[in-house]
Structures are given as structure tokens and as C-alpha cells.
Structure 1
């Protein structure tokens, strides 16, 4: 039976892996299959996708004591 520490790690790191998997999936799609919605949408989508990943990653590092929580990632 998992203890509270394992559940805590799972709770904070699962969004990181889901977000990274989503970025990987959408990055693997050919550009011709994705309709354009507005000008420079790829830049905007990349910005928000990686911002979300960075926020989840920062949150996971801050809330789980894996020995590297004090490191600031820029």
C-alpha cells in the first residue's frame, strides 16, 4: 500500500508527465493536419505549452522533497 510520501510525489509529478506527453504528442503531428486559427499561432501555443510545463515542473520541485527543491530553474 502506498504511503503518503508516494501519493504526494504522484500528485505533483503526474501533471508534469501529462503536460510533457501532450507536448510530445502534438509536436509529432504533421503541420498539414492542424488548421491555422490566427497569425503566429504556433509561437503563442508553444509559449503557453512550455509555460504550463515550467509551472507544473516548478510546483513539483517545490512541493516534493527530492533533494533538489532549492534549485531555481530559469
Structure 2
């Protein structure tokens, strides 16, 4: 069943605080949420990609270095 935000894409560029929670709620409402982490953060024990992390519920994730022109283009 599609939620009211079906078809809306959200790019989450925050790592902590209310941002991930808000993006989780948007995902619950049907938005396509992509969480972007820095490569060093994503590599540290894959903290944010653990399937049991409730803040990642309904989100996809990617690690990008936003100082790299190639990764900026990918974003």
C-alpha cells in the first residue's frame, strides 16, 4: 500500500539528531529516502547500516565523499 508521500524522494544528509528520525517518519509515509553517510562514518563498524537500527527503517543508504567531484556528481 502506497503512503501519501509515494513518489517523493528525500536525500538525508544529516548524521544525528532529529534529521534521521524525521527522515524515518517520511519513509514510513511512503517517501523514497536515501541516507548519505561519509565514507569514514559508514566504514566504522557499519553503524548506520545495521539492519536492526530503527533509524534506517524504510531507507536506502550510500556512502559518499562530498569533497570528491565524482561523488558530488553521483549525488
- Shorter chain as denominator, the TM-score bin is under 0.3
More helix by share: 1
Q: TM-score, normalized by length of structure 1?
A: 0.27
Larger radius of gyration: 1
Q: TM-score, normalized by length of structure 2?
A: 0.27
Which structure has the higher relative contact order (CA within 8 Å, separation 6+)?
1
